[in-house]
């Protein structure tokens, strides 16, 4: 081998610097994503994109609230319920939050039992999680009905103050409620597959199943924990501010 060839080979192996070097490292890496299932990686990408959407919604809400010249409705008054002739502020929202946060615990246990291949307990806990989610959506439907029918809140106006309150409320809570509803549906589907033992028998179906692999339960858990975490921010920004 000539000296020129050695020199050229040495130059070819010199890693690029700056952003090109970072891109080259990631594109040639054989370890970072080697053992990560495609389903889990795609779910993380989806959750990242959804994070941007919810962040934009909440930032838009804060911008509108701080820039409007009309008085902003007091959430403690708007979302109060009467018990025994006295109004209790945010009682329904507190119960909804408790239920949704509790569902994260049952979902985490479902994932745990799934990887232990205890399919009965895993399926039951997923169904309990779905029940909690359905209760949350039902309470949200009650909240919407009360505000629309009894209070006269609309996306274009309301009797409490700034007109933007209605559009912000229906957009943010509606988009989140849609996510919870989709999660409930997929929890039931996944629980049914786990209960029947589809993952143990490598039965092909709506979700591609591999023998002894309960990654679908963990992927479902990632989605559900994300939905719960988003609600914490909505609760803090929209209801407590």
Instruction: Sketch out the chain's domains with CATH numbers.
Output: 1-35 (no CATH), 37-239 (1.20.120.80)
Q: What confidence score (pLDDT) does residue 63 get?
A: 94
What mean pLDDT is predicted for residues 39-49? Answer: 90
d(CA 177, CA 142): 12
Taking the model in full, what pTM does it have?
0.83
Do 122 and 194 touch, CB atoms closer than 8 A?
Answer: yes
Dump pLDDT digits (tens) for 158-198. 888 898 999 999 999 999 999 999 999 999 999 999 998 88
Q: What share of the chain is helix, strand, coil (3-state, %, to 5)?
A: 70, 5, 25
H-run or E-run covering 87? strand 86-89
């Amino acid at each position: 081998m000539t000296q020129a060839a050695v020199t050229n080979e040495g130059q070819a192996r010199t890693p690029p610097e700056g952003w090109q070097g970072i891109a080259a490292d990631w594109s040639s890496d054989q370890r970072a994503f080697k053992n990560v299932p495609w389903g889990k990686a795609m779910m993380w990408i989806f959750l990242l994109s959804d994070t941007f959407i919810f962040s934009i919604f909440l930032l838009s809400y804060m911008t509108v609230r701080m820039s409007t010249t009309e008085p902003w409705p007091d959430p403690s008054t708007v979302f109060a319920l009467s018990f025994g002739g006295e109004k209790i502020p945010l009682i329904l929202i507190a119960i909804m939050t408790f239920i949704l946060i509790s569902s994260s615990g049952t979902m985490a246990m479902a994932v745990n039992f799934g990887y232990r291949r205890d399919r009965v307990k895993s399926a039951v806990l997923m169904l309990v999680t779905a029940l909690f989610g359905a209760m949350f959506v039902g309470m949200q439907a009650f909240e919407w009905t009360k505000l629309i029918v009894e209070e006269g809140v609309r996306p274009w106006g309301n009797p409490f103050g700034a007109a933007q309150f209605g559009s912000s409320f229906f957009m943010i809570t509606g988009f989140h409620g849609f996510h919870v509803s989709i999660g409930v549906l997929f929890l039931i589907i996944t629980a049914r597959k786990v209960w029947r033992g589809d993952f143990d028998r490598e039965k092909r179906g709506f979700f591609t199943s591999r023998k002894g692999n309960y990654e679908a339960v963990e992927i479902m858990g990632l989605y559900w924990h994300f939905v719960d975490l988003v609600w914490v921010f909505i609760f803090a920004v929209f209801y407590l501010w």
